[in-house]
Amino acid sequence: MASRHAEKSGKVMTRREVLRRFGAVGLAAPATAALLAACRREEATPTPVAQTAQTPAPVQAENKLEIFSWWTNPGEADGLQALFDLFLQRRPGVEIINATVAGGAGTNAKAVLVTRMQAGNPPDSFQVHAGWELIGTWVVAGKMEPINDLFEQEGWTNVMPKTLLDQISYQGNFYSVPVNIHRSNMLWYNKSVFEKIGVEPPKTLDDFYAVAEKIKASGVTPLSVGGKDKFEVPHLFEDLLLAVFGPEDYAKLFTDPGMWESDPRIDEAIDVLDRFLSYANEDRSALSWADAAQRVLDGTGAMTIMGDWAHGYFINKGAKPGEDYGWAPSPGTDGYFMWLSDSFGLPVGAPHRENAIEWLKVCGSREGQDAFNPKKGSIPARTDPDLSKYDEYLKYSIDRFAKDALAPSVVHGAAANEAYMTEYNNALNVFSASRDKQQLKGMLIDAARELQR
Ligand code: GAL
């Protein structure tokens, strides 16, 4: 996968270019203001971590470390705690401020982060998706320190896949440390419900309809879908787009925006989504992704289509992988891996910068990744894990990541800029309630204007 961030000219983008690419439309007003303010400093070249060590560092008044994320749910919160525990072994006595803002996919957290960054009040480090979310929102605005020397010292370039390194770099500098790789296109199902009804996990879209009909006839909701965090239906749709378009043409949707208007497969994908939702719970706007996953554990919902943080959730709940619940690629996507990666970077002006650098070292270490990922439900960003620490699902996922065709997630920051993602998500959330296909198509075509690069 080629980096989509490498600027052809090698120049920092101008204010107009940033506005065109990262868009005033669709970003919260504070975000726009933050970007514009950053663009005023557009000629400033960020100072590498190594060089800043020679200039007087801001005095680290208190021995603290503030880490900002949206990991509040079972599984993800456990993974975060495992990283904190390791950090404290290295730096006992540091007071960790666990600054979480609840809401899956960071819908709420990202808005709070923009406000803080704009006010010059950054946390010491924050969760950010590799790809456009990191580069488009923060790096081009000059809000992140390059961390090349850390990559060199820690040898990370030798143990992380190039695909991923491309997504965290801009103009030859590295800007964040990936802790994991998640797979978004997964179907999770209740094994005993499936056995009782006598169905197998659906491989194709048609299989899904046949299986869902049988489940529905038994009185169980076939597909458990959330909506409260405003990313769940958009997430489902990106998996269906992957099924309908295949990985190559799916990726083109974000580089050739005209396809949203001209390609008849868009109508097909919308029809598929509408049909999938006809098998889903009506109360989805009141349910988070975790609530929807819980229904699968309870057996009141037979399947859910969600990233593998659902695996972390299930483990936390004491469910046995392969016994209580099973998994399969979401229908129509066998052989494709829709990926995303959580990472942490070093914001300019981090108040406890030295602790933040130590935090990044923990995040990138083998020990850190092997403590975090088995709880989080993700695979390590590093290619040298201690496999004995990973369960059956995660070993399967490590294997699939190496073999499958990769596709970047929109909803989780990898495929497109934040302004586009916001409009795309909005279109899908409106559709979840209205089920108006023409309106959805119109909103998706409008959203595609944000993809101009
Ligand atoms: C994703 C994030 C995952 C998980 C999920 C649910 O965007 O990458 O780590 O937290 O949201 O909140």
- Note down pLDDT in tens along the chain; length 453 residues: 333 343 333 333 333 343 333 332 233 333 433 333 333 333 333 334 443 434 444 545 689 999 999 999 999 999 999 999 999 999 999 999 999 999 999 999 999 999 999 999 999 999 999 999 999 999 999 999 999 999 999 999 999 999 999 999 999 999 999 999 999 999 999 999 999 999 999 999 999 999 999 999 999 999 999 999 999 999 999 999 999 999 999 999 999 999 999 999 999 999 999 999 999 999 999 999 999 999 999 999 999 999 999 999 999 999 999 999 999 999 999 999 999 999 999 999 999 999 999 999 999 999 999 999 999 999 999 999 999 999 999 999 999 999 999 999 999 999 999 999 999 999 999 999 999 999 999 999 999 999 975
Check whether residue 272 and residue 353 sit in a common domain: no
Burial zone of 36 (CB within 10 Å; 0-12 exposed, 13-18 middle, 19+ buried): middle
Q: Is the dihedral of CA 163, 427, 188, 75 positive or negative?
A: positive
Using the atom order of ligand 1, give the atom closest to the CA of residue 309: 4
Check whether residue 264 and residue 135 sit in a common domain: no
Using the atom order of ligand 1, give the atom closest to the CA of residue 412: 7
Tell me, in angstroms, the distance from the centre of ligand 1 to residue 412's CA: 7
Tell me, in angstroms, the distance from the centre of ligand 1 to residue 378's CA: 10
Please tell me if the CB atom of residue 290 comes closer than 6 angstroms to any atom of ligand 1.
Answer: no
Please tell me if the CB atom of residue 372 comes closer than 6 angstroms to any atom of ligand 1.
Answer: no
Please tell me if the CB atom of residue 189 comes closer than 6 angstroms to any atom of ligand 1.
Answer: no
Tell me, in angstroms, the distance from the centre of ligand 1 to residue 178's CA: 13
Tell me, in angstroms, the distance from the centre of ligand 1 to residue 104's CA: 6
Tell me, in angstroms, the distance from the centre of ligand 1 to residue 278's CA: 26
Check whether residue 288 and residue 435 sit in a common domain: yes
Check whether residue 241 and residue 318 sit in a common domain: yes
**Which segments within 202-269 are labelled E, that is strand?**
221-223
Mutate to test the pocket of ligand 1, among 69, 71, 133, 184 (most ligand atoms within 8 A of CB): 71
Using the atom order of ligand 1, give the atom closest to the CA of residue 69: 10
Check whether residue 86 and residue 115 sit in a common domain: yes
Structure-token pair, residue 400: 């699939």
Please tell me if the CB atom of residue 104 comes closer than 6 angstroms to any atom of ligand 1.
Answer: yes
pTM of the model: 0.89
Please tell me if the CB atom of residue 143 comes closer than 6 angstroms to any atom of ligand 1.
Answer: no
Please tell me if the CB atom of residue 250 comes closer than 6 angstroms to any atom of ligand 1.
Answer: no
Q: With helix as H, strand as E and coil as C, how does 148-212 read?
A: HHHHHHHCHHHCCCHHHHHHCEECCEECEEECEEEECCEEEEEHHHHHHHCCCCCCCHHHHHHHH
Tell me, in angstroms, the distance from the centre of ligand 1 to residue 377's CA: 10
Cα 149-154-160 angle, rounded to 5 deg: 100
User: 243: domain CATH number?
Assistant: 3.40.190.10
The 8-class DSSP code of residue 320 comes to P
Check whether residue 198 and residue 291 sit in a common domain: yes
Question: What residues make up the domain containing 325?
Answer: 183-338+410-452
Count other Cβ atoms within 10 Å, centred on residue 439.
13
Check whether residue 192 and residue 302 sit in a common domain: yes
Check whether residue 15 and residue 162 sit in a common domain: yes
Check whether residue 298 and residue 261 sit in a common domain: yes
Domains held by the chain: number: 2
Check whether residue 72 and residue 36 sit in a common domain: yes
Tell me, in angstroms, the distance from the centre of ligand 1 to residue 80's CA: 12
Closest to 237 measured CA to CA, from 253, 257, 248, 221: 253
